[in-house]
Structure 1
Amino acid sequence: MRNGSLVRRRQLARTLRELRVHAGLTIEAAAPLLDFSPSKLSRIENAHQGVDVHIVRSMLDLFDVGGERWTEILELTREASAKGWWRAYGLDDKGYLPLESEASAVRDYTVTYVPGLLQTEEYARAMFEASLQRRSAEVLARDVRVRMIRQDRLVSPSDPIELFAVIDEPVLHRPVGGPSVMNAQLRHLVSAAALDTVELRVLPCGIGAHPAMGGAFTVLSFDGLGEPDVGYVEHPMGSVHVEKEEDVARARLVFDHLRSVALSPAESAALIERVAAQM
């Protein structure tokens, strides 16, 4: 699944920028030698504009890059240009999905709903139906399907993703989709929590005030890709990516605190089972 995402384009952009600097060229000096404007080269180096292998070959020639490095960068260029699997469902490369598709680990704190990677089809459908965004039956089915495909990586032997989830206790009591749908969702949480790739903790109401009372957030990590962690926050007016290093570091610190004060995975599973038995 790891193809054509924003992360690969960022990798390529950073690499091309580093090669230019190593060659001792400024953007203003390099651009005309590539028949680019300085603004175009800047867009390429900031991953705001894509490039194909023909353009990258010209850049590698100018920056005097050869051998294995040449081959590696051209392969990265092809990967960055490849279409992500979500394109087949009519989705573009913006938003959260392309980032998650490259992530090795997700830290997810949710306060009003079950994390998407742990939702059942019925729960996800109920969530989409409750949204103010109008969806046709076809679009609704597509969105549910895409959410289910994302979950495949939790059990993938070749391309796994780790999920560290902390959910607020009230999430367990909110009957999204009705009691039967919610009961099935709770039982699914217990099953999913038994996966090696999932750590699920419940933040009990009894702990009182805590540093994440401002709302939910997600932190994505990209081990092995050389990319820094990225924060992601959804809100009623849309969503925002957080890339500033100190802001993301603060989010990680808050998440670690939540994990430390939340119930243990075993205690969390036991609580979920009790709530399901009462529903």
Structure 2
Amino acid sequence: MEFVRSSPTFRRRRLARRIRRLREDAGLTQEQAAASLDMSTSALSRKETGEVATSVHEVRSMMDLYDAYDPGLVDLARSARAKPWWHAYGITSRGYFDLEEEAVSVRDWQSAFLPGLLQTEDYARGVFDGVSVLADEEIDKAVAARMWRRHRLHDADEPLCFSAVIDESVLRRPVGGPAVIRKQLAALLELMDIPTVTVQIMPVAAGAHRGLEGSFTLLSYADVEENDVLFVEHAVGSLHIDKPDAVATAASTFERMRASALNGEESAALISRLVSDC
């Protein structure tokens, strides 16, 4: 199954920034523009922040009003209303997929399970079987979607730069059983050969550290106007945080953990020993 890599939410934000600039360049306030566009000021405001989608018709009306023609805006408006690839798997919430899809760099600290992008199908199924409340059919779709995400690691044109620090206990947790974890660890070693993938293991001997407070993921984007995002999962959902101070604190924590973790060669050697012991 082939899907176009896309995130309507991020395209909607890009469109929002561009239509806001057009209005500002035209010297109109939101109140003035909204009145001429036959919409409320609050409605225009939501479109200019990307909270809601802007239709092709509205984009054309804006270009007429602002006396600025940009054919790319029409295409952007169409694509911003398209359904993302994960809808084909029955996944309708924006959640993490929406964040990862447009990211160019992901930094991931995991203290419980291997990062989703590094999981084999059997390991992923073991994770969902163990912690989720999904029905069997929903688990099948969730696992399939997780496997499709891995194409980002092998994308010849736009490979995802992925850096992970993983607690040693994760490698020793027999998710799915001994045979599954052995194949998973062997697959992990292969993924570590990808130039844009970095995996470091935080040894148990490191003792207490900030990462033990919980797993988290940091995502960065090519668009300089998109803030880095801190993603944190919890028992009843997740948090998407883009406040610079919070993101900077998490980034500093991640770098300290990288400095304390085993380097790439040491990590690979540890994983190889565990494969032999399984």
Shift of 1:64: 2.4
Instruction: Call closer, same or farther: CA 1:202–1:109 in 2, change over 3 Å.
Output: same
Which letter does structure 2 place at the counterpart of 1:134? L
Instruction: Call closer, same or farther: CA 1:46–1:270 in 2, change over 3 Å.
Output: same
| 1:106-125 matched pairs, under 5 angstroms | 106-125=106-125
The residue that corresponds to 2:130 in the other structure is 130
SS at 1:231 equivalent: strand
The residue that corresponds to 1:100 in the other structure is 100
Which letter does structure 1 place at the counterpart of 2:182? N
Contact 1:19–1:63 (8 Å) recurs in 2: yes
Shift of 1:29: 2.1
| 1:67-216 matched pairs, under 5 angstroms | 70-92=70-92, 94-135=94-135, 137-216=136-215
Which letter does structure 1 place at the counterpart of 2:154? V
Aligned length in residues: 275
Contact 2:232–2:239 (8 Å) recurs in 1: yes
The residue that corresponds to 2:52 in the other structure is 49
Contact 2:232–2:240 (8 Å) recurs in 1: yes
- Give CA-to-partner distance per residue, 1:5-38, whole Å, 9 cap, x none: 3111111112222322332222222211111111
Contact 1:233–1:239 (8 Å) recurs in 2: yes
Which letter does structure 1 place at the counterpart of 2:107? R
After superposing the two structures, state which structure 1 stretch, 113-122 or 261-270, moved more. 261-270
- Give CA-to-partner distance per residue, 1:38-92, whole Å, 9 cap, x none: 12112112222111211111112222222xxx02222322332222211222222
Shift of 1:104: 0.9
Contact 1:106–1:219 (8 Å) recurs in 2: yes
Query: Structure 2 unaligned runs (5+)?
Result: none
Aligned-partner Cα distance in 2 for 1:269–1:194: 10
Runs of 4+ with deviation above 4 angstroms: none
Shift of 1:125: 0.4
Query: Structure 1 unaligned runs (5+)?
Result: none
Contact 1:123–1:185 (8 Å) recurs in 2: yes
The residue that corresponds to 2:5 in the other structure is 2
Aligned-partner Cα distance in 1 for 2:8–2:257: 30
Aligned-partner Cα distance in 2 for 1:175–1:238: 25
Which letter does structure 2 place at the counterpart of 1:234? E
Aligned-partner Cα distance in 2 for 1:64–1:133: 53
Contact 1:107–1:219 (8 Å) recurs in 2: yes
Contact 2:7–2:101 (8 Å) recurs in 1: no
SS at 1:29 equivalent: helix
The residue that corresponds to 1:33 in the other structure is 36
Normalised to the residue count of structure 2, the TM-score between the two structures is 0.93
2:227 matches 1:228: yes
Which letter does structure 2 place at the counterpart of 1:271? L
Aligned-partner Cα distance in 1 for 2:117–2:265: 19
CA RMSD of aligned residues (A): 1.6
Which letter does structure 2 place at the counterpart of 1:120? T
Normalised to the residue count of structure 1, the TM-score between the two structures is 0.93
Aligned-partner Cα distance in 1 for 2:134–2:223: 39
Aligned-partner Cα distance in 2 for 1:87–1:225: 28
After superposing the two structures, state which structure 1 stretch, 237-246 or 38-47, moved more. 38-47
2:63 matches 1:60: yes
